Structure 1
Amino acid sequence: MKKLLVLFLLTLSLSGFYVADNMHLPVVQTVADLKLKAVSPYTPVFVLARNDLSDGLGLGAIYYWKPDATDAEDMTFLNVIGSSVSATGRWMRLIVRTQQLPGGILVSNSGKKEYFTSIVTSAQGKATINLTADGTATGTALFSTIYSNRCEMVGPMPTSINNAILEYTESVSSDKKQTTHQFYKGNSTAVGALGLSVVSFTAAPASVSANCTIAGF
């Protein structure tokens, strides 16, 4: 176990993170303790015990000090923690965290986040994703900024335009708690005797399934 810890700390050092010379990670017990730590270009990596938090996980986390960071503080998932002694800079979670939420899976790495979920269209070819911690329209937002929003249809490859389904993001709410997606179905209609066709798109039927990935901060 000790050899693994030494190897891990050496990896941190080679990656540009300052680690104390005694090869022991400093430990703080609470978020408040971490926020009060003095910061400098040589601020070491800290282990946060997190035994004071209401999430009940008790798993702890590893943070490093990023002096030029201005990310919004994330006190819901604790990926970004501000400092009580410095107006600039943030404590950033070092190791990726994966959480199973009511509406999907959230993967966090420092301030970056990806949310994976599945949707099914309504009769108008629409589907709405709640990007919140509890999966409701009014819960705590997972994102402050969204830079990628894509969905992939679930089902067999279309064999013609008549069973092809297209999707686009119709809207993103101003509070980043919801995205609405519109799905369209292709239609090809033969015109005249020359074999020409007119292609159009109408709202997809209900029960079209898709897997979606939303990325941001």
Structure 2
Amino acid sequence: RAVSHLPILPPVWAALPEDAVLYSRQSHVIPEDIPLGIASRCSCGAQYDPSKPTASINSTVYTLTTAVRARLEVQMCHMCSSGRRRYIGPDTRDLGLFNYNNRTLFAHALFDEYTSAFTSSETPFVAWVSVVSRRYMSGGGSIAFVSEFIFRTAWFLFAELQALDGDFSCPDCGPHPQDTIWDGVTLAFMRKQQLASLCPPTTIVAEA
């Protein structure tokens, strides 16, 4: 799990008028120092204890065009083993940031841009990370973009937090329509599963 855990708004283009306004979408200036708050926690779920000491660590915030350094106020997790050395950190949702592991943070806008690319043209993670990496290089920044593995892991954790409950409802049939049509363009079977016995799930077999 990530350090961020509060519900996150879907992209503007995917939001519904009745969606709750969880926080302001306005652009935020990334502060040099990001403090702990009441919603701070560790990725294990341990909560911030204001009575215990805190420290500051160096972190990197990845945006659409470049990466910047920031200092995060953290607190040693009292539930994780000392060997793991995990910290309780700020949620950063209200800053428009996703706190992956206290060392690496991502702008919501960055993840939303990938979601837009994926839903519009089935853009693979590898290709998109390559595009952003080149954008970072063109900008002349000294910090390279993250690897495809880290971005993919963080994006899925981010997507799990997006507040999409109740959005899947037909205006005519309600939340439980009798018939549905599924788009399989963005899904595929692994090569080892592509056997002669593979058939659509709607196929009626003799043993049924």
With the length of structure 1 as denominator, give the TM-score of the two structures. 0.30
- Bigger radius of gyration: 1
Which protein, 1 or 2, shows the higher relative CO under an 8 Å CA cutoff with sep ≥ 6?
2
Q: Which has the higher strand share?
A: 1
